[in-house]
Amino acid sequence: MSSTAIFWPMIAQTLLIYCVYFLVSKRRVGAVKAGKAKVSDYTIPTVEPEPSATAARNLINQFELPFLFYIVCILLHLVNAVSYLALLVAWLFVASRVIHAVVHTTSNDVRIRRPMFIVGFLLNAILWLYLAWVLLVR
């Protein structure tokens, strides 16, 4: 297996970020067109219509935990520690982030959103622990 395979979950996570960017823009433009917001409301968005606010908040989320995900994936590649296990965990992380984003930007049901965040958090931790283990045994 090529160690570059770890880049595909990273590319998928980046695609998710672009999708959320698109959604934020679409919802903000829609709010302005519907008269629920003015363009000037977005210069310093302290008050924003709920649909665009949840998408904007999710966009912020996509630069928090995924930041650590990108780093660990690059490090796994650099130390030649990409394995089927690491790939599986990386893809599961991305899946958890997709589900989290969908819930956050639709129903915003915290009963589903929070467990998906925790799953992603734990999967990310597993990748870091795997990296640490690889470095210890070499």
CA distances, 130 to each of 36, 38, 40, 82, 85 (Å) = 48, 48, 47, 10, 9
- Average of pLDDT values for 44-73? 91
Is 86 a residue whose pLDDT tops 80?
yes
Mean of the per-residue pLDDT values for the chain? 95
User: Which pTM does this prediction carry?
Assistant: 0.93
Is 45 a residue whose pLDDT tops 70?
no
* Nearest alpha-carbon partner for 28 in 12, 16, 13, 40: 40
pLDDT, position 1:
82
Least confident of 7-11, 49-53, 128-132: 49-53
Looking at the chain, list the stretches that DSSP marks H as alpha helix, in order from N- to C-terminal side. Answer: 7-33, 50-61, 65-78, 84-105, 110-137
> Tokens 């990108």 belong to which residue?
70
pLDDT, position 77:
98
**pLDDT confidence bin for 138, thresholds 50/70/90:** confident
Please, what are the domains in the chain?
Answer: 3-137 (1.20.120.550)
Report residue 105 as tokens: 């930007």
- Average of pLDDT values for 72-88? 98
- Average of pLDDT values for 50-72? 94
Per residue in 98-125, pLDDT (tens digit) is 999 999 999 999 999 999 999 999 999 9
pLDDT, position 48:
84
- Average of pLDDT values for 28-42? 91
